[in-house]
Structure 1
Amino acid sequence: MKSQRKMLCICCSLISVGVQADESPLMVEVTRGVLLDQSASYFTSESMAYKPGADMAELLRSVNGVSGTRMGGRAIDPIIRGQRETQLNVLLDGAYIHGGCPNRMDPPTTYASGDSYDSVTLIKGSQTVLYGSGGSGGTVILTREKPLFNEQGYAATVTGVARSNGEGGTLSTDIAAGNDQGYFRFIGEVADMDSYEDGNDDSVRSAYRSRSGALIVGTQMGENTDLTISYDRNEERDVLFAGAGMDSPESNADIYRVKLEHSFDGGMIQRMKAELFQSNVDHLMDSYSLRDKTAGMFAPSSSDTSGGRVIFDGWFGAHQASFGVDYQNNTRNGVVYSYPANKLMGQLWPDVSIEQMGIFGEVSRSLSATNRVKLGLRYDYITADADNDNDVFMMNQTAAVLYGASPEQQSEHNIAGFVTWQHSLNQSYQVEMTASRSVRTADATERYMAKSNWIGNPWLAPEKHHQIEWVLSNTAKSPWSLSAYYNRIDDYILRYRDSSIERYRNVEAEIYGVEFEHQYPLSQQWLLKSNLSYTVGNNLDNDQALSRISPLSARLQALYQSGKWGGGIISSLVASQNEVCLASSDCAGLDVTPTAGYGLVDLFADYKISPAVTLAAGIDNVFDKTYRVHESRDDVFDPTPLQVNEPGRSVWMKLSARF
């Protein structure tokens, strides 16, 4: 990671291989468009929470405009500006991974801990076409960098975390050895957590055990050519979910990557990067083995994704350009059996295959000293098919019978693009406007789920998002930014309840909101940060609110840094959410109930014992509040569904050592 990049710290006590002592270790870069002044302190208060997180999405929840649904202690499912699931593109060091659970027990961020990647880039909204189709809500890019070694040719980090609420913790290590010509790197983590208690001291089913490891091998094949090969293994065991009718006794994920990067000595093309990946998920969930029941259901499933891309970067006169092609194919299989009778009850995914082939390009140039534009265009050809839709299960049903007909292969020709204009008003103020179109195809669950109480729609049209965003920012000594966005969605894919059956249909919808960030240095030691976000979502077909839209929220941070000591206090305020679409009403949505507002206070401190060793500690939810995030998950099939409460007061400690 380069120190001049304007990134923001996820956790002040994280230390990773390849990070210098004077750098912040793991950072998140929040992008809204093209900066006129790359040295400007543009990213004002998008700081991550300092507390350790169970997975990457729990860390991302503290970025302004980002939320996440909770079903248990693990597998937070991120939401950016009211958009979720496959409305977001999540890349794990260039690889896509699609979870094995249709109910999102394992979203992609489950397979990424905070210590396993070197940098995080969060692109809000539809501001790029380089990272696959869709991405209307945003793109999360997790990256591993080439390590930096000490004089002995190695680098190593060991990090331990202990938590009081849940009585467990994590132990991670990052070890690398090599030189400029080649290196080996191993990253591993072990996590064991019991169920936490909420503010009422009630136990919430949230225990989990997790093991992960990554082996990366890099070599310099020539003066300008680098090859990197990596393998990741993730194992989840005995994961409990209070917000689901099932738990996951076992889930495994394997990710394989090959990357080739070449820099050209001359000409218009400066760099070529080719990537291949394969990700395989095997997932098992059941309703009895971890709940002391003698009968129930179990559902084995698999999700295999392969793909790659080739991208070229270069200059064509005054135009800086990136262009290329990419490919992705996801195949999913999943069935539900009764236990102990072992009778087939339904199909999660009847041998579903969704294939995407895309061509894309972006170009930017400075029109003058105060004006810059960036354009992007993308075309995707997508096919979707289900091979086992006529397999018979309970009561002589088939997937095709539940759909109403046997679906043929579906195909789409999707065109997306954006234009960003940025204007410098003076030395401190700049204004930016982005207009974009992005197209998201329906995913495997929305198209092909085939259970008696949850039925997909193979004939869903893809979502067309037409967005416009304005940003006014001040990059002076006390920087701030104000952004407003509006998203008009044709053929929004709505999940709704019809006579106790979950179904999908296309509707017209809109999502809009505002975000504000500000930071103010009180002194050389103290810094105040504040932010605010507000999102509205409406179903325009029936003039009702969309389900699970984040309420108005604000955060104020007072941060201290002096010598070896650091610390701060974080206050979060979240308003009530009464604009809901209840499953029990004519709206037939997925909201369980209106949600009360709440306020939280977190404390943290860290101390550099030596240049290589840092001790951090904190108290989350200091006043032991009982609260729940409005968007959090519930068991939609439970006769009396509920939302999952967040943890009560929790004391944590983190020790990081670099060798």
Structure 2
Amino acid sequence: MAPDRPGLPRTTAPALKRPRIDNAMSYVSPETYDSLVVVKGPQTVLWGPGASAGTVRFERDREVFDAPGVRLAGSLLGGSFDRNDQVLDVTLGAPIGYARVSANRSESGDYEDGDGRTVGSAWKKWNADVALGWTPDADTLLELSAGFGDGESRYATRGMDGTRFDRENLGFRFEKAGFNGPLEDIEFTAFHNRADHVMDNYTLRDPNPDGMMPMPMASNVERTTSGGRFAASWVLDSLEATAGVDAQDSRHRRRSAMGRGAYLAQPWITDARFANLGVFGEGTWDIAERNRLVAGARVDRASADDERATVGRAAMPNPTAGVTRKETLVAGFARFEQDAANQPLTWYAGIGHTERMPDYWELFSADAGPAGYPNAFSGLDTEKTTQLDVGLQYRTKRVDAWVSAYAGRIDDFILFRYDTGGMMGPASTATNIDARVAGAELGVEYRPREFWKVGATLAHARGEQDSGAALPQMPPLEGRLTLGRDDGTWSYGALLRAVASQGRVAPGDGNVVGRDLGPSAGFATVSLNAGWRVNSLVQVTAGIDNIFDRAYSEHLNLAGNADFGYPADPVRINEPGRTAWLKVNLTY
């Protein structure tokens, strides 16, 4: 059966592979998107290779105008620690097309934890995006887009701060539906992204003469990525299928220098190039009235070029200079779904496999590679995950309940081991191990009467190396309780978050972005919020997070940096203390 959708209902943000020099959320204002889609585990192959933990997509509904008009959404937010945000999303349109402009600005000062200690964390950022769409009919979309942004952030966990997060991107999208016959629609997207990131120890702080970086210094890295995707969908009786091809190519370059602003006079040095070409296919087969089989497969050809002349802190000659690595990555999954007869119940069970190419930071940032190899570039193998996912969902007028669980085997898991005794800071060794992971999540939402709802969730994850040691960077058991009331004019809400202690750790082991610091304590926090919808245009909400001003830290954390007064022994960074906020939303 063809999906119930008139024309082309959604515009999906391309699944871009961004460098790890900044978080993808740095460039996203969630308010300007219509939905967030999460596929857990290796249970789709449509959006690029290596989706072992899952796939996250931000989606926008397609802009449709029956007559010339304007749509506007915006918000203002103010809060503790000088927090202030502004968001504006404006669309002008007509039946023939539209123009959409989204802009946001956000900043905050250093926050205080529950003990009243100031944590270096001040930041500010801005982003602006524009999209021009041509819609000659309900089945056709042609869109050009562009985006720009920048920001800065103080890091209490590092010897340098992020003082530039400059980004620019261009995009093209073409979608066409309404074909005669089994072909349902086609889609073509192309993009060009550039991220320019500067870290230094003098713009947002003063160099510490007693620290590891006593002199002003800066590091500037840039990554340019271009790519595209073509996909087509068909409907044949009880079968819906999508197949296509995607590709991307990226160049990474860097420069650094001692002295304030001295890096600007240094030439760029290209140290790596990456490329990927993949083909994929995924389909849903309605086996019977309530039974479905969803399956897919993809094959990718990935390559990485090592263009570094020297490696390591001592700048030794690079034994793999000019070497190209090429890997063939395979992925696939199969999932059975069933709606219970005469019951508001759906369950699924699926098995998936995916293979991940080590990324730039895993291949190039480690001080050493696996034993017997000159560096991580030559020694790190691809990471392979095979995982079983099961789940159940129950939905009635008053109750929504769900449970999901997974168990997986990871061959050649990419593990970083850190030696913290070095004079120049922790030295890292990247290697491969085999590991096992498992976890479960469950939740329920109960609506006892009109306007009211009560909810609870519980999540747990466990990881183990084949040696029997704990897998590092595993979050502890976490539960949430929520209570809310919303009658359309007034709304109220409360959240209790409780996190258990974590004693299964592997101190010194971790990944490219963090390591286990040791056992962590459990904690609980309470947050309250309330809202008033003044009219159809304006809504005001306010809240207090961590209302009891608890001093606590997350298990997944980084050690405090000596420049901010933290001792040499690993000390976790505490989260914000009591935080109040007020927000005004405008919709037109």
Cα shift readout 1:162-191 (whole Å, capped 9, x = no counterpart): 012x11210111111111211111111111
The 3-state SS of whatever aligns with 1:573 is strand
2:166 to 252, 255, 272: 252
The 3-state SS of whatever aligns with 2:155 is coil
**Alignment match, 1:304:** 224
**Alignment match, 2:577:** 648
Q: Per-residue deviation at 1:124?
A: 1.2
Give, as a single letter, the amino acid of the residue that structure 2 aligns with 1:492: F
**Alignment match, 1:492:** 413
**Alignment match, 1:263:** 177
Give, as a single letter, the amino acid of the residue that structure 2 aligns with 1:130: L
1:111 and 1:543, CA in 2 relative to 1: closer, same or farther beyond 3 A? same
2:554 to 629, 641, 653: 629
The question of whether the paired residues in 2 share the 8 Å contact of 1:95 and 1:279 is answered with no
**Alignment match, 1:481:** 402
Cα shift readout 1:290-344 (whole Å, capped 9, x = no counterpart): 2122714310000111111001111123211011000012221224433369699
Q: TM-score, normalised by structure 2?
A: 0.89
Q: Per-residue deviation at 1:222?
A: 5.2
2:199 to 285, 289, 292: 285
**Alignment match, 1:155:** 71
The question of whether the paired residues in 2 share the 8 Å contact of 1:186 and 1:213 is answered with yes
Which has the bigger relative contact order, CA under 8 A and spacing at least 6?
Answer: 1
Q: Per-residue deviation at 1:289?
A: 2.6
The question of whether the paired residues in 1 share the 8 Å contact of 2:366 and 2:428 is answered with no
Q: Per-residue deviation at 1:100?
A: 6.1
Give, as a single letter, the amino acid of the residue that structure 2 aligns with 1:551: P
Alpha-carbon distance between aligned partners in 2 of 1:393 and 1:121, rounded to the nearest angstrom: 40
Cα shift readout 1:432-456 (whole Å, capped 9, x = no counterpart): 1010001111001111226699974
Alpha-carbon distance between aligned partners in 1 of 2:195 and 2:284, rounded to the nearest angstrom: 38
2:252 to 325, 332, 349: 332
Q: Per-residue deviation at 1:149?
A: 5.5
Give, as a single letter, the amino acid of the residue that structure 2 aligns with 1:505: T
1:100 and 1:372, CA in 2 relative to 1: closer, same or farther beyond 3 A? closer
1:273 and 1:341, CA in 2 relative to 1: closer, same or farther beyond 3 A? closer
The question of whether the paired residues in 1 share the 8 Å contact of 2:490 and 2:533 is answered with yes
**Alignment match, 2:487:** 562
Larger Rg: 2
Is 1:509 equivalent to 2:438 in the alignment?
Answer: no
Q: Per-residue deviation at 1:391?
A: 4.4
Q: Which stretch of the first structure deviates more once superposed, 469-478 or 436-445?
A: 469-478
1:6-405 equivalences under 5 Å are 93-99=13-19, 101=21, 106-147=22-63, 153-164=69-80, 166-221=81-136, 224-237=139-152, 239-293=153-207, 295-339=215-259, 351-387=271-307, 389-391=308-310, 395=314, 397-398=316-317, 400=318
Alpha-carbon distance between aligned partners in 2 of 1:363 and 1:493, rounded to the nearest angstrom: 31
1:627 and 1:348, CA in 2 relative to 1: closer, same or farther beyond 3 A? farther
2:527 to 588, 596, 602: 602
Is 1:575 equivalent to 2:500 in the alignment?
Answer: yes
**Alignment match, 1:414:** 329
Alpha-carbon distance between aligned partners in 2 of 1:157 and 1:151, rounded to the nearest angstrom: 19
Q: Which stretch of the first structure deviates more once superposed, 219-228 or 649-658?
A: 219-228
Cα shift readout 1:38-76 (whole Å, capped 9, x = no counterpart): xxxxxxxxxxxxxxxxxxxxxxxxxxxxxxxxxxxxxxx
Give, as a single letter, the amino acid of the residue that structure 2 aligns with 1:186: V
For structure 1, the residue ranges without an aligned partner over 5 or more in a row are 6-18, 20-26, 28-90
For structure 2, the residue ranges without an aligned partner over 5 or more in a row are 208-213
Alpha-carbon distance between aligned partners in 1 of 2:145 and 2:544, rounded to the nearest angstrom: 37
The 3-state SS of whatever aligns with 2:112 is coil
The 3-state SS of whatever aligns with 2:331 is strand
1:557 and 1:396, CA in 2 relative to 1: closer, same or farther beyond 3 A? closer
2:458 to 532, 553, 556: 532
Q: Per-residue deviation at 1:396?
A: 5.2
Alpha-carbon distance between aligned partners in 2 of 1:549 and 1:146, rounded to the nearest angstrom: 38
Cα shift readout 1:572-606 (whole Å, capped 9, x = no counterpart): 11000111111299xxx921121100011110111
The question of whether the paired residues in 1 share the 8 Å contact of 2:148 and 2:166 is answered with yes
Q: Per-residue deviation at 1:535?
A: 0.2
Alpha-carbon distance between aligned partners in 2 of 1:471 and 1:393, rounded to the nearest angstrom: 46
Alpha-carbon distance between aligned partners in 2 of 1:451 and 1:583, rounded to the nearest angstrom: 15
Alpha-carbon distance between aligned partners in 1 of 2:350 and 2:401, rounded to the nearest angstrom: 19
Alpha-carbon distance between aligned partners in 1 of 2:35 and 2:344, rounded to the nearest angstrom: 28
The 3-state SS of whatever aligns with 1:290 is coil
- How many residues in Structure 1 have an aligned counterpart in Structure 2? 557
The question of whether the paired residues in 2 share the 8 Å contact of 1:634 and 1:642 is answered with yes
Alpha-carbon distance between aligned partners in 2 of 1:596 and 1:623, rounded to the nearest angstrom: 17
Alpha-carbon distance between aligned partners in 2 of 1:562 and 1:597, rounded to the nearest angstrom: 35
The 3-state SS of whatever aligns with 1:576 is coil
Cα shift readout 1:208-255 (whole Å, capped 9, x = no counterpart): 111110111001245632101111111113x10112221012120111
- Percentage of matched positions with identical amino acids: 27
1:234 and 1:574, CA in 2 relative to 1: closer, same or farther beyond 3 A? same
What RMSD, in angstroms, separates the aligned Cα atoms of the two structures? Answer: 2.9
The 3-state SS of whatever aligns with 1:458 is helix
